[in-house]
Structure 1
Amino acid sequence: MAASNVWEKDPDAVLDWVWDWSDWLEPGETITDSLVIVSAGITLDSDAHSATSATAWLSGGTPGTPYTATNRITTSAGRIDDRSITVRVKNR
C-alpha cells in the first residue's frame, strides 16, 4: 500500500494497511502492544503487529464516506504514539 495518509478501498474489498514504525523507533526499541481503532461504519477484521510495524485488515464502508483508522502503539521504552489514516470508500 502507498505511504500516503489517504487510502481508497472498494466497499466489498478486504484489504490490509501497514503502519511502519521502524523510522520512528529508537535503536533497540520495539513495539510491545498495538491497538487499531476505526470509526463506526468500517470493519476491523483483524490486526497484528511485529517488533516494528502493525497491520490492520479492513472491510466494508459506504461509498463516499471517509473513515479514520488509528494505530496506537506502546513500545519497550514505554512510549505511546498514534498514527492515523483516512480510508475513503468508493466503488471501483
Structure 2
Amino acid sequence: MAMMVKDPDARIDFEFDWGTAYPDGQAVVASSWTVVPDGAGGVIVAAAAHDLMQSTATLSGGIAGHVYRVTNRVTMSDGQIDERSLTVRVEER
C-alpha cells in the first residue's frame, strides 16, 4: 500500500496505473473512490476520472494529525473487479 503526506490545504492528484497489472486487451470501464474514515473536515475526493488504463482522484482537505485510507475500485472490461488503496497522512507543511 502506498503512503502519501498532504497538507490540509493542499489539493493534489493521485493516480493508479492499472495497465501494468492487466494484459493487453483489458481496460478500465468503471472506477470509484472511497475514503475511510469519512467525516466532516476529512480528506475528500474532490474530482475523479479514468481512462482505459489509469484512474485519477483529486484529494483535498483532511485534519492535521489524522490518517486516512483512500481506495480505488475498478471494473475491467472482462468483468473483473479489483481495488488498490493508499494511506494519506495529513500534516501541516
Normalised by the length of structure 2, the TM-score is: 0.92
Does residue 44 of structure 2 align to residue 12 of structure 1?
Answer: no
- After the TM superposition, which residues 77-88 of structure 1 pair with which residues of structure 2 at under 5 Å, given as runs? 77-88=78-89
| Distance in 1 of aligned mates of 2:76 and 2:31 | 9
Runs of 5+ consecutive residues of structure 1 not aligned to the other structure: none
Aligned match of 1:25: 22
Q: Which amino acid aligns with 2:9?
A: D
Supply the RMSD in Å over aligned alpha carbons.
1.0
Percent of aligned pairs with the same residue?
Answer: 42
State the 4+ residue runs in structure 1 displaced beyond 3 angstroms: none
Aligned match of 2:75: 74
Normalised by the length of structure 1, the TM-score is: 0.93
| Distance in 2 of aligned mates of 1:83 and 1:5 | 9
| Distance in 2 of aligned mates of 1:82 and 1:68 | 12
Residue 38 (structure 1) aligned to one of 35, 60, 65: 35
| Distance in 2 of aligned mates of 1:72 and 1:48 | 12
| Distance in 1 of aligned mates of 2:80 and 2:21 | 11
Q: Number of matched residues?
A: 89
Does residue 56 of structure 2 align to residue 55 of structure 1?
Answer: yes
Q: Which amino acid aligns with 1:73?
A: V
| Distance in 1 of aligned mates of 2:24 and 2:88 | 31
| Distance in 2 of aligned mates of 1:72 and 1:34 | 6
Following superposition, the deviation at residue 33 of structure 1 comes to 0.3
